[in-house]
């Protein structure tokens, strides 16, 4: 029972005891007073009769007349006149009237008996007779009943008003306790909230201030750990001059992109090399050359800001060599991107940043999952060499394999639209297990394949770039959500489903998604929605989304985490279910110590707020063993299990 209820019941019990005692004391006092009045009434009547009958002591008729007149005009139970000499009865009047409108139980409870009085009738100096009078309590009982009812109603009214006011006062005074409970519950959800209003009650004020101080301390520790981890990531994976990824990050990302996976698509690698960097240093000086390198970095950053390019990676490999990894890019778009980049290089030359003509050359090479990184880089080097030998343009594209799809935008639009309209969507499931016990499943990640007109199942890595290009990502999310709920109705096991950036950005799509969640409360404990770190909305919108998803009863997770470690400072307000570490930082972690240090930093930061970590793309026993040693909670990847239809 809550403290509020206990205090409220205690106050009510005290009021009942106090009012009951007051009521009983009032009734008893009235009873004693009425008994005295009845006794006085009887004695006065007896004395008056005795004096009136003295002259007529020997006249029975006159005595009877006097008795009758007194008896009929007053409230008497009986009046008797008895001769003293022989005890014979001269006259007697008696009534059996019962009190009206007074319950019998009250009469018995009060026990107000008739009270008597007597007086002597004298014959000279001789005692001739005795008058005995009993006052009837009828009138007293009626008066006492009315008085008791009035007192009871008044006490009940006072008790009700006191209970209402006491309950309101208690609720008002104890409201800070409810706020502190919510604050403690928020901490368990990995949200650190401070209470802005401090109560005036000294005892509660001290507790609230202590709780706020504890929360501020936790937030400070978490922010410090996040800052140290972010600095470590920048030193390990970021180029200090341009702010782009460094060669180490590029090699890791390229190797990861070439792994055959449901999520990995074909694409293009752009290799940009500044012409005669050593000569530029001598002619322009180190400061202007660094400015040119920085301007090239800004140019690549602007290219990455365009919609649909969140999964691309721009890096500075060394000196004046830059790379741009563009998964999901088609041949025509690759040409357009190279033209856009060459125009940017021309602008740099015209502004005087370089006296080279052109500033740099670009090699564009296709890649597909399953290739070796060296083969892709070699193809890009060959394209770059062809561009350097071509005086007409500063870029060249090289495709030397026939696996690239010949389908155009119209073909993809037709069959994707048909597949979504007719429900030609097949769910695949990839297990997510505990690192310490891989046979213990945490959930299953929901993936998808679309059936093309020939009935062939197309992996997500091939059709997802086209869905984003067509602007149907939110439509695809809703279809996946609908199919997932249908699956949960038959097979209730924990699932995780990714949301696209389009669903998070578009208000109407987000509203449809939340409405669908609220219409399936039975699946709330089994479904976790995942958002990509690279597609996150602004912090305020993300916090509102997290709150809406939790209000619907579902959980929210963050996948592909690691590239923007500074975001970890905002995780305290989101109440996330877990973080999934991007496979880029997991691949070969048993062989590369810097990755291990980075995962240790993430674990320290997230462990302080009790946020579980799950590693993506775990491929070897060595990787899993290191993750278990680091304390990572779960893992997914081909070592745990490849995506497959439900069995």
Contact (Cβ atoms closer than 8 angstroms) between residue 520 and residue 485:
yes
* CA of residue 39 relative to chain centroid, distance: 75
In this prediction, residues 81-102 reach a mean pLDDT of 78
Q: How many CB atoms lie within 10 A of CB 73?
A: 9
Helices within 54-137 (DSSP H only): 60-73, 104-110
Which residues contact residue 84 at a Cβ distance below 8 angstroms, ignoring those fewer than 6 apart? 120, 127, 128, 129, 130
CA 210 to chain centre: 24
The pLDDT of residue 113 = 77
Q: Does residue 189 or residue 26 have the better pLDDT?
A: 26
| 57: pLDDT strictly greater than 80 | no
Asked if residues 533 and 561 have their Cβ atoms less than 8 Å apart, the reply is: yes
Half-sphere exposure of 485 (CA within 13 A, CB side): 16
Question: Could you give the CA distance from residue 265 to residue 458 in angstroms, rounded to a whole number?
Answer: 11
CB 80 within 8 A of CB 150: no
The upper half-sphere exposure of residue 338, i.e. CA atoms within 13 Å in the direction of its Cβ, equals 28
Which segment of 105-119, 208-222, 305-319, 406-420 scores lowest on mean pLDDT? 406-420
Nearest-angstrom CA–CA distance, 234 and 563: 10
The predicted structure's pLDDT at residue 181: 74
Question: 645 Cβ partners below 8 Å, 6+ apart?
Answer: 426, 427, 428, 429
Least confident interval from 100-104, 373-377, 589-593: 100-104
Note the helical H segments in 552-592.
none
- What's the burial of 352, exposed, middle or buried (CB within 10 Å: 0-12/13-18/19+)? exposed
Tokens representing 154 are: 């008044």
165 burial via Cβ count (<10 Å: 0-12, 13-18, 19+): exposed
Instruction: Judge if the upstream peptide bond of residue 358 is cis by omega within 30 degrees of 0.
Output: yes
User: Which residue in the block uniquely carries the two structure tokens 């994976």?
Assistant: 237
Instruction: Give, for 82, the enclosing helix (H) or strand (E).
Output: strand 76-83
- Spell out the domains of the chain, with CATH numbers in brackets: 3-160 (3.30.110.200), 267-398 (3.30.70.270), 409-636 (3.20.20.450)
Q: What is the DSSP string of 377-426?
A: HHHHHHHHHHHHT-SS-SEEEE---S-S----HHHHHHHHHHHHHTT-EE
395-398 and 267-274 strand pairing: unpaired
pLDDT of residue 528: 94
**Considering the chain, what is the average pLDDT of its residues?**
82
- Of the listed ranges 113-122, 224-233, 274-283, 433-442, the least confidently predicted one is 224-233
| Distance, CA of 326 to CA of 345 (rounded, Å) | 19
Q: What is the largest CA-CA distance in the chain?
A: 164
* pLDDT value at residue 402: 40
Supply the pLDDT for residue 398: 85
Q: Which has more confidence, 13 or 498? A: 498
**497 pairs with which residues across the strands?**
529
- The whole-number pLDDT of residue 217 equals 80
pTM here is 0.58
Query: How many Cα neighbours within 13 Å face the side chain of 484?
Result: 31
Least confident of 352-366, 373-387, 499-513: 352-366
Q: What is the pLDDT of residue 44?
A: 83
Per-residue pLDDT, 567 = 66
Tell me how far apart the alpha carbons of residues 569 and 563 are, in angstroms, rounded to a whole number.
14
Q: Specify the higher pLDDT residue, 512 or 98.
A: 512
- Average pLDDT score over residue span 330-352: 81
CA 252 to chain centre: 36
CA distance 309 to 286: 32
What is the predicted pLDDT for the residue at 357?
63
354 pLDDT exceeds 60? no
Beta bridge partners of 444: 431, 495
| 440 vs 113, more confident | 440
Q: Is 1's pLDDT higher than 70?
A: no
CB 459 within 8 A of CB 448: no
Question: What does DSSP say about strands 495-499 and 613-615: parallel, antiparallel, or unpaired?
Answer: unpaired
Pairing of strands 313-318, 321-327: antiparallel
3-state secondary structure 223-274: HHHHHHHHHHHHHHHECCCCCCECHHHHHHHHHHHCCCCCCCCCEEEEEEEE
Q: How confident is the model at residue 325 (pLDDT cuts 50, 70, 90)?
A: very high
Q: What is the pLDDT of residue 128?
A: 83
**Res 486: pLDDT:** 92
Identify the residue with better confidence: 16 or 352. 16
Q: Report CA-CA distances (Å) from 72 to 40, 65, 201, 638.
A: 18, 11, 69, 112
Average pLDDT, stretch 84-107?
Answer: 77
Six-digit token pair at 346? 């021309």
For 23, 258, 260, 300, 467, the CA distances from 325, given in Å and listed in that order, are: 89, 11, 16, 11, 20
Q: For residue 11, what pLDDT is reported?
A: 75
pLDDT at 48 over 80: yes
* Banded model confidence at residue 628, pLDDT cuts 50, 70, 90: very high
Task: Tell me the C-alpha distance between 610 and 477, whole Å.
Answer: 29
Helices (H), ranges, 258-285: 277-284
pLDDT at position 576: 86
Q: Which residues pair with 430 in a beta bridge?
A: 445
Quick one: average pLDDT of 367-393?
Answer: 83
Q: What does DSSP assign to residue 452?
A: -
pLDDT, residue 282, reads: 76
pLDDT at 391 over 70: no
Closest CA to 462 of 511, 415, 523: 415
- Whole-angstrom distance, CA of residue 272 vs CA of residue 394: 10
Pick the residue with more confidence: 71 or 74?
71
Residue 411, pLDDT > 80, answer: no
Angstrom distance (rounded) from CA 121 to CA 85? 12
- Spatial distance between the Cα atoms of 304 and 99, rounded to a whole number of angstroms: 99
For residue range 209-223, list pLDDT tens digits in order.
887 888 788 777 777
The torsion region of residue 101 among left (phi > 0), alpha (psi -120 to 50) and beta comes to left
Based on DSSP, count helices (H) and strands (E) in the chain, helices before strands: 18, 18
Asked if pLDDT for residue 192 goes beyond 50, the answer is yes
Give the span between the Cα atoms of 581 and 634, in whole angstroms. Answer: 10
pLDDT 10s digits, 429-487: 999 999 988 889 999 999 988 877 777 777 777 777 778 777 888 889 999 999 999 99
pLDDT in tens, 130-160: 888 888 777 777 787 888 788 778 878 887 8
- At 119, list the tokens: 């007086």
Q: How far apart are CA 632 and CA 604, in angstroms?
A: 11
- Burial label for 12, CB within 10 Å (0-12, 13-18, 19+), is middle
Predicted confidence band of residue 403 (pLDDT cuts 50, 70, 90): very low
* Separation CA 259–CA 568 (nearest Å): 28
Q: Which residue has the higher pLDDT, 40 or 261?
A: 40
**Half-sphere exposure in the Cβ direction for 269 (13 Å, CA):** 30
pLDDT at 400: 61
CA distance 610 to 574: 13
List alpha helices for 305-393, DSSP H.
331-350, 373-388
Average pLDDT over residues 526-549: 87
Q: What is the pLDDT of residues 269-311, one digit of tens each?
A: 999 988 877 777 777 777 888 888 888 889 898 888 887 787 8
pLDDT (0 to 100) of residue 84:
83
Does residue 315 surpass a pLDDT of 80? yes
Q: Compute the distance between CA of residue 229 and CA of residue 224 in angstroms, rounded to an integer.
A: 9
Under the banding of pLDDT at 50, 70 and 90, the label for residue 261 is confident
DSSP 8-state class, residue 33: H
- What pLDDT score was predicted for residue 74? 66
pLDDT above 90 as % of the chain: 17
- Whether 170 shows a pLDDT value over 80: the answer reads no
């Amino acid at each position: 029972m809550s403290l509020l209820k206990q205090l409220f019941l205690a106050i009510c019990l005290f009021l009942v005891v106090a009012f009951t005692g007051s009521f009983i004391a009032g009734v008893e006092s009235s009873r004693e007073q009425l008994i005295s009045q009845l006794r006085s009434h009887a004695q006065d009547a007896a004395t008056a009769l005795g004096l009136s009958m003295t002259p007529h002591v020997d006249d029975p008729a006159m005595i009877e007349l006097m008795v009758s007149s007194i008896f009929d005009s007053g409230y008497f139970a009986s009046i008797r006149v008895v001769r003293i000499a022989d005890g014979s009865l001269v006259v007697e009047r008696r009534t059996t009237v019962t009190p009206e409108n007074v319950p019998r139980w009250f009469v018995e409870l009060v026990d107000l008996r008739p009270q008597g009085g007597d007086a002597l009738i004298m014959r000279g100096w001789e005692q001739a007779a005795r008058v005995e009078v009993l006052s009837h309590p009828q009138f007293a009982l009626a008066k006492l009943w009315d008085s008791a009812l009035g007192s009871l109603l008044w006490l009940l009214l006072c008790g009700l008003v006191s209970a209402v006011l006491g309950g309101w006062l208690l609720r008002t005074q104890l409201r800070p306790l409810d706020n502190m409970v919510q604050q403690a519950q928020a901490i368990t959800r990995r949200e650190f909230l401070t209470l802005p209003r401090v109560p005036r009650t000294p005892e509660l004020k001290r507790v609230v201030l202590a709780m706020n101080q504890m929360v501020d301390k936790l937030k400070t520790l978490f922010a410090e750990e996040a800052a140290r981890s972010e600095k470590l990531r920048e030193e390990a994976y970021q180029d200090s001059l341009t702010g782009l990824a460094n060669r180490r990050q590029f090699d890791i990302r390229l190797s990861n992109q070439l792994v055959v996976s449901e999520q990995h698509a074909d694409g293009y690698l752009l290799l940009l090399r500044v012409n005669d960097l050593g000569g530029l240093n001598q002619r322009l000086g180190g400061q202007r050359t660094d400015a040119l390198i920085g301007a090239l970095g800004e140019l690549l950053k602007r290219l990455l800001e365009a919609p649909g390019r969140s999964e691309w990676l721009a890096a500075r490999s060394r000196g004046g060599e830059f790379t741009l990894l563009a998964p999901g890019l088609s041949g025509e778009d690759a040409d357009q991107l190279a033209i856009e980049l060459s125009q940017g290089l021309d602008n740099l030359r015209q502004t005087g940043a370089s006296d080279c003509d052109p500033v740099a050359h670009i090699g564009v090479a296709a890649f597909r999952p399953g290739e070796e990184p060296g083969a892709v880089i070699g193809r890009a080097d060959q394209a770059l060499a062809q561009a350097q030998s071509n005086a007409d343009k500063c870029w060249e594209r090289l495709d030397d394999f026939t696996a690239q799809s010949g389908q155009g935008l119209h073909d993809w639009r037709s069959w994707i639209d048909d597949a979504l309209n007719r429900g030609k969507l097949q769910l695949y499931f990839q297990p997510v297990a505990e690192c310490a016990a891989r046979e213990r499943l945490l959930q299953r990640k929901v993936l998808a394949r679309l059936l093309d007109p020939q009935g062939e199942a197309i992996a997500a890595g091939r059709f997802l770039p086209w869905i984003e290009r067509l602007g149907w990502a939110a439509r695809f999310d809703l279809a996946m959500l609908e199919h997932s709920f249908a699956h949960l109705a038959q097979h209730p096991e924990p699932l995780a489903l990714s949301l696209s950036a389009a669903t998070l950005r578009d208000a109407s799509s987000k509203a449809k998604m939340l409405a669908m969640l609220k219409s399936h409360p039975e699946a709330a404990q089994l479904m976790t929605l995942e958002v990509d770190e690279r597609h996150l909305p602004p912090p305020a919108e993300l916090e509102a989304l997290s709150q809406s998803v939790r209000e619907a009863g579902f959980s929210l997770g963050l996948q592909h985490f690691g590239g923007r470690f500074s975001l970890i400072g905002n995780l305290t307000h989101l109440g996330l279910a877990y973080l999934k570490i991007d496979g880029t930082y997991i691949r070969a972690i048993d062989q590369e110590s810097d990755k291990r240090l980075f995962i240790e930093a993430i674990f320290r930061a997230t462990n302080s707020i009790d946020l579980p970590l799950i590693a993506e793309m775990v491929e070897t026993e060595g990787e899993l063993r290191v993750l278990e040693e680091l304390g990572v909670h779960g893992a997914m990847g081909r070592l745990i299990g490849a995506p497959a239809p439900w069995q």
